[in-house]
Structure 1
Amino acid sequence: MRTRATTAALAALLLAALTACSTTDDGKRPPHPTPTKSASRAPSATADPARADLEKTVRAYTAAYFKPDVTTAYNLISARCKEQITKPGLGLLIDRAHQLSGDRAVKRFRINKFSGNMARVSYGVGLPRYDQHDQPWTRERGHWRYDAC
């Protein structure tokens, strides 16, 4: 019974995390992101290196999330998020996402805000229920980490 409740709670957390849309400071829902690069192209080497690294990390996290590759995905979340979810807990979430949707990759990507070690991005993987709007990312020790926990 306890395992069933834990699995149900983790599934609910996954659904909330993947379908939740952040709002802007004025309370309005941000517009859908517009594509900046195709899914098959890597960030431009001529772009700002920090922005290119952010996009590369978002793409890597998303690919690991839907593969599912719990080790890679867990390594790409912030220290703050690691205080809220364990590696096995994340494993349950990404296994379920993979079962429901298979392998996915970022098809649309946009940086909404970028300031120092904080950024907000919007992206989609081809399924509207997984679209992310204004999702927070943080740079820790020079590396971008998912911070939407």
Structure 2
Amino acid sequence: MDSRTTAIALTAAALLALTACSSSDDDAAPASDSGTPVAEPTVSVPAEHENDDLQAAIAVYTASYFSGDADTAYGMLSKRCQGTTTPADYKAVLAEAAADYGPDHQATDVHAKVSGTRAQVSYKVSGLPKFDQQGQPWALEGDAWRYDAC
């Protein structure tokens, strides 16, 4: 993993840890700059897969996708998906997504159905409901979850 990928992964993990560990006396949902409530990240993963970092992989992949970080996002594709596109073609797709939507879209309300090395993941993409996912396939390859929806 290069330093940029490591930095993104550590940032995602830190944000997830802060979200999980924070508490408040205020029961109201946090508000964005516009005053609209912001969805809190949640995850539902079977206990036997809690430490597989599936939520972190989804957070990193989503962040890299919308920021146009093709090196990180392409590296998170399953071997099968990498075989369906070239790094240059994938970079063009991500550059367009970054230009069209910008980088500030996190995965929230993550729920996974895991069976062995396969997962079906549902989550929301903050600010972009048209990118919300239902049953998106992910594959555990080695010790890392990989995007497998190609």
TM-score under structure 1 length normalisation: 0.66
Runs of 4+ in structure 1 displaced over 2 angstroms? none
Using the TM superposition, give the Cα deviation of residue 57 of structure 1 relative to its aligned residue in structure 2, in angstroms: 0.3
- Unaligned 5+ runs, structure 2: 1-38
Secondary structure (helix, strand or coil) at the match of 2:40 reads: coil
Q: Distance between the aligned counterparts of 1:58 and 1:107, measured in 2?
A: 10
User: Contact 1:42–1:56 (CA<8 Å) still a contact in 2?
Assistant: no
User: Helix, strand or coil: the match of 1:77?
Assistant: coil
Counterpart code for 2:65: Y
> Partner residue of 1:106?
107
Output one character per residue of 1:10-31: Cα deviation in whole Å (capped at 9) or x when no partner: xxxxxxxxxxxxxxxxxxxxxx
Q: Does 1:147 align with 2:140?
A: no
CA distance in 1, matches of 2:146, 2:65: 13
d(CA) in 2 for partners of 1:105, 1:71: 18
- Partner of residue 48 from structure 1, selected from 50, 62, 72: 50
What is the match of residue 77 of structure 1? Answer: 77
Q: TM-score by structure 2 length?
A: 0.65
Write the distance in 1 (CA, Å) between the matches of 2:99 and 2:109: 22
| Aligned twin of 1:118 | 118
| Residues 43-90 of structure 1, C-alpha deviations (whole Å, 9 max, x = no match) | 9xx98212xx01110110000000110000011000000110111111
**Which of 40, 46, 61 does residue 38 from structure 1 map onto?**
40
Hey, what's the Cα distance between the residues in 2 that align with 1:137 and 1:144? Answer: 6
Structure 1 residue runs of 5 or longer lacking an equivalent are 1-36
Identify if the C-alpha distance between structure 1 residues 116 and 42 changes in structure 2 by more than 3 Å, giving closer, same or farther: closer
3-state SS of paired residue (1:38)? coil
Whole-Å separation in 1 of the counterparts to 2:87 and 2:55:
23
Kept in 1: contact 2:43–2:110 (CA 8 A):
no
Cα contact 1:109–1:124 (8 A) shared by 2: yes
2:27 aligned residue: none
Task: Give the drift of 1:107.
Answer: 2.4
How many Å separate the matches in 2 of 1:78 and 1:67?
20
